[in-house]
Amino acid sequence: NGKTTTTRLIAHIVKNNGHRVGFTTSDGVYVQNTMMLKGDTTGPVSAEFILKDPTVDFAVLETARGGILRAGLGFGFCDIGVVTNIQEDHLGLADIHTLDDLTRVKGVVVDAIKKDGWAVLNADNEYCVRMGKNAHCKVAYFSMHENNPIIKSHCKKGGIACIYENGFITIQKGDWKIRVQRTTLIPVTFGGTVPFMIENVLAATLATYLYDFKTDDIKISLETFIPSAAQTPGRMNIFNFKDFRFMIDFAHNPAGFRGIKAFLDHIDSPLKIGIIAGTGDRRDEDIRELGKLSAEMFDYIIIRQEKHLRGRTAENIVGLLIEGINSVDKNKTYEIVPNEIDAIKHSMSLARPGTFIVALSDVIDNAIETVQNYQEQERNGTFNM
C-alpha cells in the first residue's frame, strides 16, 4: 500500500530539483506532467517505456507484485529501492499464499539495488525489516515511531533513518537530527491526520535525501504536493459540494480500508455514507473483512459490484461483503446498487447537510469524472438529485 503516492511524491521532488523525470504508476506512465500511457502500468513493459525515452534523465518506477511474477523488473539494477510495507493482499494468487511468499517476491526489488545503493524500508513492518537484514546494499529505515527498536539500534550504529517525531518529518543520522517539516504543513497528510500518508512522506523524504537532495528543497516540494484528482488521482480526492463532501479513494484491501477508517475518525459528520465493492481474486476472508470494516466506519453502505469479478459472480462477492457487515452490526443499513454511476448519484440523493460520502472505487476515472460533472452542475445551478 502507498506505492503510487510515494512514487508521485518522489517524482515531484525530483522534478522540482531540475530533472526531467519519467515515472510509472497504477494509473499511467508519465514524463514530467504528461501522461504518455493510461492504465495500470506497474510492470516491466512500462519501466522499459521510461528507460528507453532519451529525454528522461531520472526514472521513478512503481513496481507491483503482478509484473514481477509475470516478467521480472524490466531493469537490472537501481540506485534506490523503496518498499513501503508488506500487507495481506493478493494472497492465494500465482502460488503466493503467505506473507513470507509475498516478501520473497517484493524482495526482488531489494536484490536489484546496486551494492553502493540504498534500500529504503519500513521499520514498523516486520517483513520489511527481514528484507533489511538480508540486503546486499546499504539500508535506511523509516518509522512512525522514533523509539522503534529497529530505528534506535540502526541509528546507534551510525545508520540513517527518517522518523515521525513530535509532529515533524525528521531525518536522523546517528545522534544527529534535522527536522524537515511539520506534518500539519504538508498537504498530502491532511493536516497530519492520515498516518498512512505520513508514512508515504517519510519514505519519499528518505529516498530523496539519500540521493543527495537538500532538505530545504525536499521541504518546499512537500509543501507544494497538493492532493487532488490531478496530482494524486484516486488517493483521497475530496470534492466539496454545498451541503456535503464526497471523497474518492482507491482503497481495495483491508489495510487500505483501515487507513480510510483512521481518517474518518477525525471527520465530524452526522452521516457517513460508504460506496464499496469487492475484488473477485481475493480470498473469502479478505472480502468479508472489507464488509466488516465498512460497517465500523459508515452509517449507511451502498454495495456496487459490476467490475473485477475475476472468476466469481457478483452475487458471491456481495454475499461475502454482507456477511462481513452483519458480523459487526445485523441492523446496519445497506443496499445494493450494481452500477457505480448510479451508486454515486443515489448516495448524493441521500445526503443531508454535513454528510461525508466515500466511494472506495476500483473504477477511478469514471468516479472522478462523474463527481466533477455533478460539481459543475451545482456551480451552474442545474444540479438536481
Full residue range of the structural domain in which residue 83 is found:
3-224
184 and 100 in a common domain: yes
pLDDT tens per residue across span 5-19: 999 999 999 999 999
**Domain presence at residue 114:** yes
Residue at which a domain ends, from 194, 224, 254: 224
CATH of the domain at 183: 3.40.1190.10
Q: Judge if 286 and 199 occupy the same domain.
A: no
Domain match, 241 and 219 both: no
Residue 230 lies in a domain: no
What's the whole-number mean pLDDT along residues 236-253? Answer: 93
CATH number at residue 298: 3.90.190.20
- Looking at the domain assignment, is residue 318 inside a domain? yes
pLDDT (tens digit, 9 = 90+) per residue, 51-65? 999 999 999 999 988
Last residue of a domain, one of 202, 224, 246: 224
Alpha carbon distance 281, 162 (integer Å): 35
Q: How confident is the model at residue 363 (pLDDT cuts 50, 70, 90)?
A: low
| Cα–Cα dist 97/99, whole Å | 7
3-class secondary structure for 13-37?
A: HHHHCCCCEEEECCCEEEECCEEEE
Q: Which of 153, 361, 150, 350 is nearest to 247 (CA)?
A: 361
CA angle 292, 332, 273 (to 5 degrees): 80
Among candidate residues 270, 237, 263, 234, the one with its CA nearest the CA of residue 353: 270
Say if residue 76 is in the same domain as residue 197: yes
Query: Based on the domain organization, do 132 and 215 belong to the same domain?
Result: yes
With respect to residue 320, please indicate whether it lies within any of the assigned structural domains.
Answer: yes
Do residues 249 and 216 both lie within one domain? Answer: no
Distance CA 278, CA 291 (A): 9
Q: What confidence score (pLDDT) does residue 12 get?
A: 97
Q: Is 229 within a domain?
A: no
Is the full-model pTM beyond 0.95?
no
Q: How far is CA 208 from CA 29, 56, 358, in A?
A: 20, 17, 32
Confirm whether 113 is domain-assigned. Answer: yes
Instruction: Give how many domains the chain has, as a whole number.
Output: 2
Structure confidence at residue 382 (pLDDT): 84
Confidence of residue 89 (pLDDT cuts 50, 70, 90): low
